[in-house]
């Protein structure tokens, strides 16, 4: 049987351990938060460099509900055509690379001298 003061010591130690753990976790999170704020500040400085760049290249914004249906269809067809062109070009490049990799003539390759021991 543990005396009353033994229980008091045990619970006091547990409460102190809890407070210490919560303090360490709070300190750890605060440091991470301050680092995040520093990174966000650097990102904002970097993004400020790009303000105003390429504004002339962007199309004017229009409300789609008020646009002419022919314009919307033409824009969508142009977008799908552009995507299909990019997809076919990527496919062609992949096929060329695959052919280049698989048709390697091993007799013409200069292999490292350590492989011939």
**Would you list the DSSP string of 37-54?**
HHHHHHHHHHHHHTTTTT
The CA distance from 106 to 56, in Å, is 53
Which residue from 4, 25, 6, 3 is spatially nearest to 14, judged by alpha carbons?
Answer: 6
pLDDT, position 61: 67
The CA distance from 82 to 77, in Å, is 8
- Which pTM value belongs to this model? 0.39
> Tokens for 85?
């062109």
Q: How far is CA 99 from the centre of its chain?
A: 32
- DSSP-assigned letter for residue 57: T
Cα pseudo-dihedral 79, 82, 84, 87, rounded to 10? -130
pLDDT tens track of the chain, all 117 residues?
889 999 999 999 999 999 999 999 999 999 999 999 999 999 988 887 777 665 656 566 667 677 788 988 998 999 999 999 999 999 999 999 998 888 877 777 777 777 776
Backbone angles phi, psi at 88, to 5 degrees: -70, -35
């Amino acid at each position: 049987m543990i005396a009353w003061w033994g229980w008091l010591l045990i619970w006091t130690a547990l409460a102190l351990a809890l407070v210490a753990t919560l303090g360490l976790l709070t300190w750890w999170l605060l440091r991470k938060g301050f680092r995040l704020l520093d990174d966000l500040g650097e990102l904002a400085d970097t993004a400020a460099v790009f303000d105003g760049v390429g504004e002339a290249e962007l199309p004017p914004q229009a409300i789609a509900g008020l646009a002419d249906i022919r314009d919307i269809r033409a824009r969508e067809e142009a977008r799908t055509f552009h995507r299909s062109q990019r997809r076919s070009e990527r496919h062609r490049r992949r096929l060329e690379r695959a052919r280049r990799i698989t048709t390697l003539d091993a007799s013409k390759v200069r292999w490292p001298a350590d492989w011939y021991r």
